[in-house]
């Protein structure tokens, strides 16, 4: 199967993750997709294919070199995630291919007048003349990260079909629930057995990332007292109003829409409530570990401030670290970054080394002993109905995987 058809097949599976189910995988569609992938890996010739009860897939492409040589070749891994973000619907994805993109706005859905406008998304102009996979304007596409899976599987199939290409042992891993920060929760690094790995989970062509946010989730529950408004004087405590008061105490410019590069932020991702109880859901991000810890302390400070004003127990906070900046774990093994850069250049891709304003499974895996930087998967506008995937970028990422494999086998 060619890489485009494979990708189009993958996005037909609804694999939206859901942080509220308290299950792994968090949604049944992910396990359905995992079973399909496990069967496919067996069919293309990989061995040691496992699918555990939590939806994690691992598989092996054995070395095709003599034993004495194989022992000198590092075991490398390639990892991608199966879920798509809950930010937009991933059900009934109906992609189409825009042939030889002409540089004009793309009408995604004529009936509802949903348009991918170049004025809003000028990056698409970089892909003029190329074939581009787009959505129908009603769902996300799923290139994050089904493009990564398609690239890895297609590269492994090519290596099986071309035994003349020398390679050592290669491990493949596919994870659930990355989009809700749980992708590495049950990943068995020891069982994976790679010396280092790459997540194929970046964005535009050329991206190579070994720095990411330190990340935490934060939930604040505000408790109020509901009394009939006609007799509420000095009795009612409206939890929604108190929650709003807390929210506006955070610096208004330290939000995603006002920050870039290495700048961190507080991001209110959910707010729901009644007079009696309101919940604020935040994510906290910063590249610098010291500032990251300061941000968490600031949230705790605001909760204490509310409790001093309205009474102890009015507000409760739950903070959970999600992942940390992988840079400190990658710097001692920078040769794996150099390897990826060389592989990109060899296939005609200009490396773009940049910090991730987000995170990947590789961040947590790096702290668990598996150095794991991130390579582009090729898509743009992830998590939205305006997501798109240039086919050349999809193919280039596959070629980078192949080139890394070749270089590892020859650079001993």
Overall average pLDDT of the 341-350 stretch: 98
The predicted pLDDT at position 247 comes to 97
* Domain boundary pick from 299, 323, 347: 323
Same domain? For 81 and 221 the reply is no
- Phi first, then psi: what are they for 389, rounded to 5°? -140, 110
CA–CA gap between residue 180 and residue 253 (Å, rounded):
25
The predicted pLDDT at position 412 comes to 59
Query: Which pLDDT band holds residue 68 (cuts at 50, 70, 90)?
Result: confident
Convert the pLDDT of each residue in 96-115 to its tens digit: 999 999 999 999 999 999 99
CA–CA gap between residue 372 and residue 75 (Å, rounded):
13
Distances 179 to 17, 81, 125, 145, 219 between C-alpha atoms, Å:
7, 8, 28, 10, 18
Query: Which pLDDT band holds residue 170 (cuts at 50, 70, 90)?
Result: very high
Number of H helices, E strands in the chain: 11, 17
* Domain boundary pick from 268, 300, 323: 323
How distant is the alpha carbon of residue 211 from its chain centre? 14
CA–CA gap between residue 121 and residue 131 (Å, rounded):
17
| Number of Cβ within a 10 Å radius of residue 381 | 22
Same domain? For 404 and 258 the reply is no
Residue 411, pLDDT > 80, answer no
Same domain? For 183 and 271 the reply is no
CA–CA gap between residue 377 and residue 278 (Å, rounded):
39
The verdict on whether 188 is a catalytic residue reads: no
User: In terms of C-beta density within 10 A (0-12 exposed, 13-18 middle, 19 or more buried), how is residue 193 classed?
Assistant: middle
The token duo for 136 is 């129908």
Same domain? For 77 and 137 the reply is yes
Overall average pLDDT of the 128-132 stretch: 98
Query: Which pLDDT band holds residue 70 (cuts at 50, 70, 90)?
Result: confident
CA–CA gap between residue 297 and residue 211 (Å, rounded):
23
Same domain? For 37 and 63 the reply is yes
The token duo for 166 is 């020398």
Query: What total of structural domains would you count in the chain?
Result: 2
Catalytic pick among 144, 145, 178, 211? 178
Same domain? For 242 and 374 the reply is no
The predicted pLDDT at position 268 comes to 97
The verdict on whether 254 is a catalytic residue reads: no
CATH code where residue 275 lies: 3.30.70.360
When the pLDDT of each residue in the chain is averaged and rounded to a whole number, the result is 96
Neighbouring residues of 49: CB distance < 8 A, sequence distance ≥ 6: 38, 41, 42, 57, 58, 59, 60
Overall average pLDDT of the 366-385 stretch: 96
Overall average pLDDT of the 243-249 stretch: 97
Query: Which pLDDT band holds residue 121 (cuts at 50, 70, 90)?
Result: very high
Same domain? For 116 and 196 the reply is yes
Query: Which pLDDT band holds residue 358 (cuts at 50, 70, 90)?
Result: confident
Catalytic pick among 83, 145, 201, 399? 83
Residue 80, pLDDT > 80, answer yes
Strands 96-98 and 132-134: antiparallel
The predicted pLDDT at position 323 comes to 87
Residue 169, pLDDT > 80, answer yes
Nearest to residue 383, comparing CAs of 36, 90, 27?
90
The predicted pLDDT at position 69 comes to 86
How distant is the alpha carbon of residue 400 from its chain centre? 19
The predicted pLDDT at position 361 comes to 85
Same domain? For 142 and 61 the reply is yes
Same domain? For 149 and 22 the reply is yes
The predicted pLDDT at position 322 comes to 86
Same domain? For 10 and 103 the reply is yes
Same domain? For 336 and 296 the reply is no
Overall average pLDDT of the 236-248 stretch: 97
The predicted pLDDT at position 319 comes to 97
Q: What is the pTM of this model?
A: 0.87
| Number of Cβ within a 10 Å radius of residue 230 | 6
- Phi first, then psi: what are they for 277, rounded to 5°? -155, 135
Overall average pLDDT of the 200-209 stretch: 96
How distant is the alpha carbon of residue 7 from its chain centre? 17
Note down the domain range covering 14: 3-212+325-410
Residue 24, pLDDT > 70, answer yes
Neighbouring residues of 114: CB distance < 8 A, sequence distance ≥ 6: 107, 108, 137, 138, 385
The predicted pLDDT at position 181 comes to 83
Residue 360, pLDDT > 90, answer no
Overall average pLDDT of the 156-184 stretch: 95
Convert the pLDDT of each residue in 255-265 to its tens digit: 999 999 999 99
CA–CA gap between residue 93 and residue 142 (Å, rounded):
8
Same domain? For 7 and 59 the reply is yes
């Amino acid at each position: 199967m060619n890489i485009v058809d494979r990708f189009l097949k993958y996005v037909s599976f609804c694999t939206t993750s859901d942080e509220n189910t308290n299950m792994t995988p968090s949604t049944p569609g992910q396990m359905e997709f995992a079973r399909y992938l496990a069967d496919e890996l067996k069919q293309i010739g990989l061995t040691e294919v496992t699918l555990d009860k939590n939806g994690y897939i691992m598989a092996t492409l054995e070395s095709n070199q003599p034993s004495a040589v194989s022992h000198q070749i590092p075991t490398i891994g390639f990892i991608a995630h199966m879920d798509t973000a809950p930010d937009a619907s991933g059900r009934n994805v109906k992609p189409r291919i825009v042939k030889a993109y002409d540089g004009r706005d793309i009408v995604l859905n004529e009936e509802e007048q949903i348009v991918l406008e170049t004025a809003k998304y000028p990056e698409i102009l970089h892909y003029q003349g190329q074939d581009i996979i787009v959505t129908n304007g009603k769902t996300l596409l799923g290139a994050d990260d089904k493009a990564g899976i398609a690239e890895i599987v297609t590269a492994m199939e090519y290596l099986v079909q071309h035994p003349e290409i020398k390679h050592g042992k290669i491990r493949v891993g596919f994870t659930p629930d990355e989009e809700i920060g749980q992708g590495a929760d049950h990943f068995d690094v020891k069982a994976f057995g790679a010396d280092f790995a790459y997540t194929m989970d970046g964005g535009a062509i050329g991206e190579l990332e070994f720095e990411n946010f330190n990340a935490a989730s934060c939930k604040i529950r505000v408790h109020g007292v509901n009394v009939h408004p006609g007799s509420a004087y000095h009795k009612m405590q409206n939890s929604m109003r108190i929650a709003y008061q807390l929210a506006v105490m955070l610096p208004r410019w330290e939000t995603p829409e006002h920050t870039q590069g290495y700048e961190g932020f507080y991001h209110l991702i959910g707010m729901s409530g009644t007079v009696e109880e309101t919940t604020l859901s935040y994510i906290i991000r910063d590249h610098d570990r010291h500032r990251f810890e300061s941000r968490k302390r600031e949230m705790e400070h605001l909760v204490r401030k509310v409790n001093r004003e309205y009474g102890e127990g009015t507000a409760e906070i739950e903070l959970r670290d999600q992942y940390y900046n992988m840079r400190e774990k990658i710097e001692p093994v920078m040769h794996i970054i150099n390897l990826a850069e060389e592989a990109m250049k060899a296939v005609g891709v200009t490396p773009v080394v940049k910090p991730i304003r987000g995170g990947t499974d590789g961040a947590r895996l790096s702290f668990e002993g598996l150095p794991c930087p991130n390579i582009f998967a090729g898509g743009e506008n992830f998590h939205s109905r305006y997501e798109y995937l240039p086919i050349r970028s999809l193919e280039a990422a596959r070629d980078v995987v192949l080139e890394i494999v070749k270089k590892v086998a020859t650079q001993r």
